[in-house]
Amino acid sequence: MDIIKELSQFSTPTLHEALGQIGNLPYQIKPLSKNMKVCGPAYTVKAKAYMNINLHRAYAYAKAGDVIVADCSGGYEAGYWGDLLTLGAMKQGIAGLVIDGCVRDADEIEALGFPVFCRGLCIKGTGKDPEGSFNEPITIGEVTINAGDYIVGDRDGVVVIPKDRVLEAIEKARAREEKEVNTRAELNKGLTSLQIYGWDKKFGY
């Protein structure tokens, strides 16, 4: 099975629901451009707040197809990633960036077409203290991300699929979509969601 191809078929809400509502990163982390999508195994990096040297190191160390997932130690008020890092990462075959922080050079990144998911934009520069880690577990929001976990991002946000549950996620996401096809058919017949799910009887609506 081509796991990346299979996962890419599903939206982040579908995958999140399929595994029992797990893996959702903070809602503030969104695509730089609404049409950006990303899917691939995580290469995790932890950077010291307001320092970005570990992001330079991460794209050099990661494998082609990896998604760099960066924990910036809560220092949001800086632009950790820009157009030059983007160009370097693209030349190494990196699939995208998910960062719990801000970036800059938005127009240039969008023009390059590199998927970036971040908290926002910030023009402030960063230093080069290398304190941090690579390919070790990191936590963003309430989600712990391990190296090799699968990252899926779209306009709605980012979901993390544990690597040992990825086949389960694909199977359950496919079943969920099939069920929603039937629900849409019922809605098109004029039934309400209250009737379809039996909530009208259960709650007396």
* Domain parsing of the chain, residue ranges: 3-162, 169-202
pLDDT tens-place string over residues 121-161: 999 999 999 999 999 999 999 999 999 999 999 999 999 99
What average pLDDT score do residues 44-50 get?
A: 98
CA distances from 72 to 47, 56, 127, 132 (A): 5, 13, 12, 9
Does residue 159 contact residue 15 with C-beta atoms inside 8 Å? Answer: yes
Q: Is residue 118 scored above 90 in pLDDT?
A: yes
Task: Report the pLDDT value the prediction gives residue 184, as an integer from 0 to 100.
Answer: 95
Where are the extended beta strands (E) located within 48-176?
A: 67-71, 96-100, 102-103, 116-118, 120-121, 132-134, 138-140, 143-145, 150-154, 157-161
For the chain, the first-to-last Cα distance in angstroms comes to 45
Q: Which residues pair with 39 in a beta bridge?
A: 152
Token representation of residue 14:
């579908």
Q: Is residue 1 scored above 80 in pLDDT?
A: no
Give residue 102's Cα distance to chain centre: 15
Does residue 185 contact residue 50 with C-beta atoms inside 8 Å? Answer: no
Domain topology for 3-162: Glucose Oxidase; domain 1 (3.50.30)
pLDDT tens-place string over residues 152-170: 999 999 999 999 999 999 9
What average pLDDT score do residues 78-105 get?
A: 98
Can you tell me the distance from the alpha carbon of 69 to that of 84, in angstroms, rounded to the nearest whole number? Answer: 18
Token representation of residue 75:
């220092």
What average pLDDT score do residues 37-51 get?
A: 98
